[in-house]
Structure 1
Amino acid sequence: MASSKVTSSPSPRPPRPNLAFRELRGQRSPAEFAAAVRRAAREIGERVSCDARYVGRVEAGEIRCPNYAYERVFLHMFPGRTLTDLGFSPRSSVRGRGARTSEDAPPAHLASPAYATGETGGAHEPYDTQDPYDTHHDYEESDVLRRAFMTSGGATVAAASLSPMGLAHDATAAERPARRAGTRDADALEEAVRRIRLLDDRHGADGLYRRAATPLRAAYALLDAGATRQTTAERLHSGAGELAISVGWLAHDSGRYDDARSHYAEALATARMTGDAALEAHAFCNTAFLARDAGRPREAVRAAQAAQRVGRPVGSDRLMSLLALREAGGWAGLADRTGCEQALARAQALYERGPSDADPEWMSFYGEAELEGLEAQCWSTLGDWPRAARHAHRAAQLQDPHFTRNIALYTAELADDLARGGRPDEAAAAGLRVLELLGQVQSSRIQTMLAGTARVLLPHRRAAGVSTFLDKHASAPRVV
């Protein structure tokens, strides 16, 4: 999840699109190419948080020269080429550029010596495209964030850095800044969304939820303050809505269903006020997912169908595929096998049409692994344990290692399906793998699933490996 609080310095002419880089992306969507960049980074021991937005900024020419970590990754991906071959400007040509205008200068509460000493004067990809857990910190990274991550490194401490707007937890209206919001605030808000999603992918929701509420309050304070430009106001509304959904998901995944429902409703209201169809579809999508988990399958179907109605103009087949899966989950909860199978068939057909530039950025998680995982949940709800186990196994095998939480989720689903399908030894082995991952992931949802599996396996303690799993599960710490 990478973006920028510090955009490129102003230039006398608009950025020149990087056509060479666009050609290298080929038929892959920006999200798929970003995933390839992250995989290449891991191959050489780098960790970068490349996402679809970063790829778009490179192709638009906004990033004239990448930072050193990205340079190493790109040259590894395309051996024999130079930065110039990739469409970038030589590093020497972007050093020491002039001062920013007042609109582009970072706010005082975000400033740090890193900005003043930047080797390229902010012309290349800025500090916060770096993964907060990256040990290869470039000079651009905020000193405050660097200290927080280097001294503690845990998800809870990392989440403490999620308020880039500089508002205190208990700030009153009189204490909030009176200035109108600018592009820098919109950048910071969008970065907060990406940072939350990145931390959730790696560590799960439980350690993040309460901390993440702080930037959400700050986001709506920015909306109240007004914006300097209409385009900035639209970005702020979209960013605030996406942040509300992200915080709602953290509540959802940590079992706080009432809080999640409230946050999703807040995002839905924000979308409708501004006529943002993509945001409205996202809010309905998550509402459908929550309704299914909360035992309200008919509401899940209605919300998923509403999401499909408002989401069609977005033009993303992958979005419509995911929304069809949300509908399938609702039909499964109603024990309507025919309705579920029809929705699953639509989801698969839409997915096979491939990615496109219209795919929303937040859908970067939705690949073949997620498709398999959600289908596994449908068959599990319908009680077809062998079929559910096959899909859950495929989901865990296909998942990008970057998404630690999802690997734990799919493996927990697999363990439960195997246990209920009469294969206790295999279920115990899968359960042990989940317990290992729970050292990195904090998710009440996954813990609840694993507890259910343990109850199913209790009568099979004599089976190979089951007693070991049950003992380790009983001694494992629980998230409070």
Structure 2
Amino acid sequence: MSREPNHRLAALMAEAGVSNKGLARRVRDVAQRHGADVRTSHVAVQRWLQGGGIQPQTAAFAAEALSDKLRRKLTLSDLGFLNAPPEPSMSSTGYDASLPEALALLDGIAQLTSQDGMADASLLPESEVHSAVFAWLVSRPDDLVSNPAATRQVGMRDVAAMRTVAGTFSKLDFLYGGGHGHTALRYYFQHEVIPLLKGSFSLKVGKALFGVAAENLQVLGWTAYDRGHHQVANRYLLSTLRLAQAADDRMLGARVLANLSHQANYLGMAPRSMQLARASVEGGKGGSTPRGMALFLAHEARALSTAQDYKGAARAMNEAEKFFQRADTADDPEWISYMEEAELVGEFCHCFRDLKRGAEAVRFAKRAVALTDPKYARTLGFVRMVLAQGQLLNGEPEEAATTATRAVEAAGPLQSARFLRYVETFQHEISPYAGNPVVQEFNERVQAAVTRTHDE
């Protein structure tokens, strides 16, 4: 993708006297006249001015908008759009048949933010996601041919550096939430990772390069999800799946599907979550370690629990436990090092909470709290809140409020929309006991924490 500034567009906007927001509004108005749903924002206009891509239909609407304002006919060439590569559209997952096409869209996808007209509480259309998942399930490895004209020679030291970055931001995410580091990682991916993917490399380096690029993009997608930017996260994760395919890393691809299942489950989309989790399990077979299979099955158990399928959830939990018992029999990639006993038990306590089995939820949550390393602060916050919910299910509102208060106090600088929703959900569940002094204290602590976060 060309990064040369679009001087033609800038000159026409100056002549017309329109700002980025003004042009975005005019493009939306023109699209509406044509019966199209285009959600162009000032962020997208800025990207065009910087030489980023644009969808052909959107380019035509922009030309018509400026033509109306300047009272003369303008072409796409006049706007500097004639040779512009396409940007990811609202109807495109970016999971393309060929690797060159996927790379052509990757830069635009990496620039996406929640301001790009994507509703935070929604996901991509189910048909689009299923199409990408099916393509991955039946895919074969790409022929990784480097760019012979590239001036950048990529080696294993570059790969090692990228792996260190992925690990660093993953640790930051666990400790402080997706709100910390997401913007910095997005900048790194755009300006460091993508240029390397377009460099010159051997086949051995290429497989490692695309694999570690997928690891970085997976963290970027996960942090977007944790911030509550769901549709953006969907796009990041599907692009991660495409990079994992290029690297011929089935275990990493299955992990991406498990993440997508986790996100759908969080949003209450149990059928979608179950399908993605089962695709993760089936797609991971034969190419994953026992620890990886335990993770994928745990996510299937979570989806089945949300669907109130106790028998199915129990079966998936049992299978996950059997795989985990063999976890140390194989060498695992670094990215799955967090999948320890605490993580597995934490997933199970979520299952029992969703199945409304309070006694089991409390038993597994207490063990998860005891086992979880403080460096996984967000996970610890989650399981503490699940413990509180389990205690509430058992008819112990004061114990539940006390536990939840500790969770909120310990969360400290955690910037996680997901943790905040755990707290808000619990507030709703315990509202019948709002007159209890312990519950009142909990609500006051929550309000103080929210106010402190906003002040910061």
Q: Provide TM-score, normalisation by structure 1.
A: 0.60
Structure 1 match to 2:162: 189
Q: Is 1:369–2:342 an aligned residue pair?
A: yes
Structure 2 match to 1:302: 275
Change (3 A) 1:347 1:243: same
CA contact (8 A) 2:368 2:383 kept: yes
Structure 2 match to 1:113: none
**Which SS does the other structure have where 2:329 is aligned?**
coil
The residue type paired with residue 290 of structure 1 is Q
Distance 1:247 1:326 in 2: 20
Distance 1:350 1:275 in 2: 23
Shift of 1:224: 4.1
Shift of 1:230: 2.2
Shift of 1:231: 2.0
Q: Find 2:328's aligned residue among 341, 352, 355.
A: 355
Q: Find 2:386's aligned residue among 409, 413, 418.
A: 413
Alignment of 1:159-174 (within 5 A): none
Structure 1 match to 2:351: 378
Q: Find 2:290's aligned residue among 317, 330, 344.
A: 317
Shift of 1:178: 4.3
Q: Is 1:202–2:165 an aligned residue pair?
A: no
Alignment of 1:148-297 (within 5 A): 178-297=151-270
CA contact (8 A) 1:219 1:236 kept: no
Q: Provide TM-score, normalisation by structure 2.
A: 0.63
Distance 2:226 2:240 in 1: 17
Distance 2:192 2:249 in 1: 17
Q: Find 1:390's aligned residue among 345, 363, 386.
A: 363
Distance 2:394 2:250 in 1: 42
For structure 2, the residue ranges without an aligned partner over 5 or more in a row are 1-109, 112-149
Alignment of 1:112-151 (within 5 A): none
Structure 2 match to 1:326: 299
CA contact (8 A) 2:398 2:438 kept: yes
Shift of 1:370: 1.0
Shift of 1:218: 3.0
**Which SS does the other structure have where 1:314 is aligned?**
coil
CA contact (8 A) 1:206 1:250 kept: yes
Shift of 1:440: 3.2
CA contact (8 A) 2:152 2:196 kept: no
CA contact (8 A) 1:181 1:228 kept: yes
TM-superposition CA deviations, 1:387-417 (whole Å, max 9, x none): 2122112111111222222111111221223
Alignment of 1:461-480 (within 5 A): 461-463=434-436, 465-477=438-450
Structure 1 match to 2:397: 424
The residue type paired with residue 196 of structure 1 is F
**Which SS does the other structure have where 2:412 is aligned?**
coil
Distance 1:431 1:272 in 2: 42
Distance 2:391 2:160 in 1: 45
For the aligned residues, what is the CA RMSD?
Answer: 2.1
Q: Find 1:404's aligned residue among 377, 387, 390.
A: 377
**Which SS does the other structure have where 1:355 is aligned?**
helix
TM-superposition CA deviations, 1:229-265 (whole Å, max 9, x none): 2222222100111111111111111211111111110
Change (3 A) 1:397 1:376: same
CA contact (8 A) 1:416 1:450 kept: no
Distance 1:220 1:296 in 2: 33
Distance 2:197 2:426 in 1: 47
Distance 1:401 1:439 in 2: 12
For structure 1, the residue ranges without an aligned partner over 5 or more in a row are 1-168, 171-176
Q: Stretches of 4+ moved more than 6 A in 1?
A: none
Alignment of 1:26-175 (within 5 A): none
Whichever structure has more helix as a proportion of its residues is 2
**Which SS does the other structure have where 1:313 is aligned?**
coil
Change (3 A) 1:276 1:336: same
Equivalent pairs counted in the alignment come to 306
Shift of 1:338: 1.2
Shift of 1:464: 5.3
Change (3 A) 1:283 1:390: same
Shift of 1:268: 0.7
**Which SS does the other structure have where 1:181 is aligned?**
coil
Change (3 A) 1:315 1:273: closer
Distance 2:357 2:393 in 1: 10
Shift of 1:181: 2.5
CA contact (8 A) 1:376 1:391 kept: yes
- Percent sequence identity is 25
Change (3 A) 1:335 1:219: farther
CA contact (8 A) 1:278 1:360 kept: no
CA contact (8 A) 1:253 1:443 kept: yes
Distance 1:227 1:234 in 2: 12
The residue type paired with residue 388 of structure 2 is A
CA contact (8 A) 2:402 2:438 kept: yes
